[in-house]
Amino acid sequence: MIADVVDLKLPWMTGFSRAVAMTAAQCYARFTSDDAAGAHVYRAGLIHGIGRAAVPKSVWNLPTPLSASAWDKARLAPYWTERAGKQTGALGEAAVLASYAYERQDGSGYFRGARDPALTLEARVLAASVASVAWVALRSKRPSRASLTDQSAAHLLQGERLQMAGYAARRWVRWWRKASHRQARGKGRTA
């Protein structure tokens, strides 16, 4: 429920947190059968965006690309996710993991700028899942840009994949390509 309420702050993000959580859980299940850890990754995916509530709505709804000062506020959303989650007690551990959702193995992520050795498998899967759901987001209209074509979104994600969470990202991209290929073959069939 928290995920849905947070996503409602920005109507164009409705369902984003649930999609991240489901994608993360499915991806993590490909690595291990540890149900408890999988549930932890799912919870982290659900709450990864609660820190967005601490960033003014006016920042998210700018009709232009974010200025440097607006970007400084936006990149603190994972920090606020961890801080808010720790204060709830029950969500504390999931919030710590959720705060790694936008990290990249090369250190270019935020808010920590964590590098490869600091990223657990769970954090890598979560970061890859956020980027995988970005496929949907990129193809949707946002206040600062028009929706992208499939080709443009794929090109942008291909570049992003190189900075994402390494092995988890490569596994996700491989799975996505196979799923897209199967779907394309299915569309060509007649009933």
* DSSP secondary structure of 80-132: HHHHHHHHHSTTHHHHHHHTTTT--TBS-SSSS--BGGG--HHHHHHHHHHHH
Amino acid identity of residue 41, one-letter, is: V
Print the domain residue range for 50. Answer: 2-187
Question: Maximum distance among all alpha carbons in the chain?
Answer: 55
Q: What is the pLDDT of residue 122?
A: 92
Q: 38 exposed, middle or buried (CB, 10 Å; 0-12, 13-18, 19+)?
A: buried
What is residue 137's predicted lDDT score, i.e. its pLDDT? Answer: 73
pTM over 0.85: no
Residues of the chain with pLDDT under 50: 162, 188-191
Total domains present in the chain: 1
Distance between CA 177 and CA 165 in Å, rounded? 18
Q: How far apart are CA 107 and CA 83, in angstroms?
A: 21
Return the CATH number at 41.
Answer: 1.10.3210.10
